[in-house]
Chain A
């Protein structure tokens, strides 16, 4: 999959007339984008392991050893708002990708900043939620449910936090003029990561919160 001058370049006459240049790779697709999809495919295994572990351990709490998962324990209305915030951030990310593909850098930057802001609101909500749970007596080592819960949701939170850092990096790049229309794929590849984070939350919200 190396990009070399000798790699076959398949040109479609119609696309060529539209000013389209091929990806000069042996697969015909961008190496960076391919790498991101491979990473996301492997990340499915990470979160699959964490979700399975949570499912196996959540009801293994001996009586009198702290809270157990229930609708009374989780604050579903609050978490629902967080879910809508993350969902909306996926929309703004998609709009940012669309804007950069049209060469509208200013609009792209605005949507990237909005996405970062919404991601930060989600993380703030998670910190608040964790704090509330600790006050209710569920620490990381209180019981096996707490360990599994914090590990799963914490890993997701770390993914969101890393995403926010990347988003802010893209905004800084655009402000310095290093993110022009021909770098649209960079934004698109990061968008894949952000949408994946949203997809994982769709699973967590249903499995952890709504089906306790």
Chain B
């Protein structure tokens, strides 16, 4: 049961995207791959964000609330950047994005409910 996978190299050298691997869905959606240069730029952005995250370790007397406020946005941005560029969700067929986001949102909702039912958000939790 093999799928007829396709490749085609049509991207120009000056283009941001190289190599088109289209998927023929009803919208004749095109799957474009970023160039190596784009991948490297994305990796540098991720490395910079990671460095900023690690930098919070050296903040003296930072409360948990401060750390959460500083670190969670960076974590979410890194998560999204990897999914959108490295995993091609930005360029690929939307059905993949819907499937993954559904699983992710289901996990977030289910476990937020679980944590809430265990009174995890209470300030006295764990004390």
Minimum CB–CB distance for A205 against chain B, Å: 7
A98 adjacent to B18 (CB under 8 Å): yes
The verdict on A44 contacting B103 (CB below 8 Å), with A15-B22, A15-B30, A31-B1 known, is yes
For A182, what are the chain B residues with a Cβ–Cβ distance below 8 Å? 5, 7
| Closest residue of B by beta carbon distance from A11 | B24
B115 adjacent to A56 (CB under 8 Å): yes
A210 adjacent to B8 (CB under 8 Å): no
For B21, what are the chain A residues with a Cβ–Cβ distance below 8 Å? 101, 184-185
The verdict on A196 contacting B6 (CB below 8 Å), with A10-B28, A45-B106, A202-B75 known, is no
A101 adjacent to B7 (CB under 8 Å): yes
A sample of 26 inter-chain contacts (CB < 8 A) reads: A3-B2, A3-B3, A18-B22, A20-B6, A24-B3, A29-B95, A30-B5, A34-B96, A44-B100, A44-B103, A55-B115, A56-B115, A56-B118, A77-B54, A77-B57, A94-B85, A94-B86, A98-B18, A98-B35, A102-B9, A184-B5, A185-B21, A191-B87, A192-B87, A206-B74, A210-B53
Which among B103, B114, B125 has the greatest number of chain A C-beta atoms within 10 A?
A: B103
- How many of chain B's residues have a CB under 8 angstroms from any CB in A? 71
B22 adjacent to A90 (CB under 8 Å): no
The one of A3, A34, A56, A205 in contact with B1, judged by C-beta atoms closer than 8 angstroms, is A3
A29 adjacent to B25 (CB under 8 Å): yes
The one of A15, A80, A192, A203 in contact with B79, judged by C-beta atoms closer than 8 angstroms, is A203
Tell me which of A35-43, A118-126, A132-140, A161-169 binds B.
A35-43
